[in-house]
Amino acid sequence: MSDDVVRRGRWPWVLLIVVAILAVLIVVAEFVARSILPGIVRGIVIEQLELPADQELDVDASGILLPQLIGGRLDELHLQTDAVTIGGVTGAAAVTAVGVPLHGGVLDGAAGTVRIDQDEFVALAAASDLPIDEIAFAAPNVTATSSFTVIGVPVPVALTVEPGADAGELLLTPVELRVAGVTLNAAEIAERFGDAAAGLTQPHRICIADQLPAGITVTGLTIQHSTAVIDVDVDGAIITDAALQHNGVCS
């Protein structure tokens, strides 16, 4: 048997071995990338948001990382934590960013949710001018106990408000009021009590822009079971524009 025949016979095996080695190297490189990337992203997020160094933050990237790393852009990046404190309010947060540049540039987009319990929601509601004594979740609405004064006499009430968001602010819209066991809607309240109950019949806004980076905008608020869920949208330029990384302002 000639040497050429022997070499031709070995060639498929050599090729198979090379392919196998490359496959192993790719798997190892992917594993290394997934081990290193979360720590890098976590460090950047903690630094930009000025969070504690020991902040718990889970980071996960979708898809196969190597092609994305070579291309310099991650398809999807998921950030999640069970407890983060921003502006004195603590809740669980989850954000998904798409089109994440690795060498400078803006995100294609990002959105997420912040979940807070009833006590934390009370702290937020205290920032409004709605006269509130206590708050209880009654999904999908919120029930607040309060009172107003008629001819010098305090009248206790239970006010039901519909949560929402508008123009970046949390919005609490009264839908009904219970006074002495009688349920009244906003129009009936105004008719019976006039200016004395005016503060209970108008929508009330809660601005938290000064507690969040300017690049994060509140887009929704819903009550799910025992949790208030705040939806947020993230400006893709937040990773390059320092002004968007600083807290916003309330007018």
Instruction: Read off the pLDDT of residues 70-124 as tens digits, 9 standing for 90 and up.
Output: 888 889 999 999 998 876 778 999 999 999 888 878 889 999 999 999 988 888 7
Q: Are residues 135 and 237 in the same domain?
A: no
71-103: buried (b, 16+ CB within 10 Å) or exposed (e) per residue?
eebbbbbebbbeebebeebbbbbebbbbbbeee
Of 10 and 16, the one with more pLDDT? 16
Q: Are residues 44 and 108 in the same domain?
A: yes
**pTM confidence score:** 0.79
User: What pLDDT does residue 231 have?
Assistant: 95
- Minimal CA–CA distance to 128: which of 14, 250, 2? 250
Q: Is residue 26 part of a domain?
A: no
Residue 145: domain span:
128-206
Q: Are residues 132 and 184 in the same domain?
A: yes
Q: Are residues 102 and 214 in the same domain?
A: yes
**Range with the poorest average pLDDT among 46-55, 101-110, 166-175, 229-238:** 46-55
- What is the per-residue pLDDT across 214-236, written as a single tens digit (0 to 9) for each? 898 999 999 998 899 999 999 99
User: What pLDDT does residue 164 have?
Assistant: 94
Instruction: Read off the pLDDT of each residue in 182-204 and give the average, rounded to a whole number.
Output: 73
Instruction: Read off the pLDDT of each residue in 52-63 and give the average, rounded to a whole number.
Output: 88
Q: Are residues 196 and 72 in the same domain?
A: no
Is omega for the bond preceding 140 within 30 degrees of 0, making it cis? yes
Say if strands 141-150 and 182-184 run parallel, antiparallel, or are unpaired.
unpaired
**Range with the poorest average pLDDT among 27-31, 36-40, 171-175, 192-196:** 27-31
Q: Are residues 37 and 114 in the same domain?
A: yes
- Minimal CA–CA distance to 235: which of 109, 140, 118? 109
CB 207 within 8 A of CB 189: no
Under 8 Å CB-to-CB from 25, ≥6 apart: which residues?
Answer: none
- Of the pLDDT bands very low, low, confident and very high (cuts 50, 70, 90), residue 2 is low
CA distance 193 to 201: 11
Number of domains in the chain: 2
**Range with the poorest average pLDDT among 47-51, 153-157, 192-196:** 192-196
Q: Are residues 163 and 199 in the same domain?
A: yes
Q: Are residues 137 and 159 in the same domain?
A: yes
CB 67 within 8 A of CB 101: no
CA distance 48 to 79: 14
Most confident of 45-49, 119-123, 155-159: 119-123
> Position 69: which residue type?
L
Tokens of 249: 């302002």
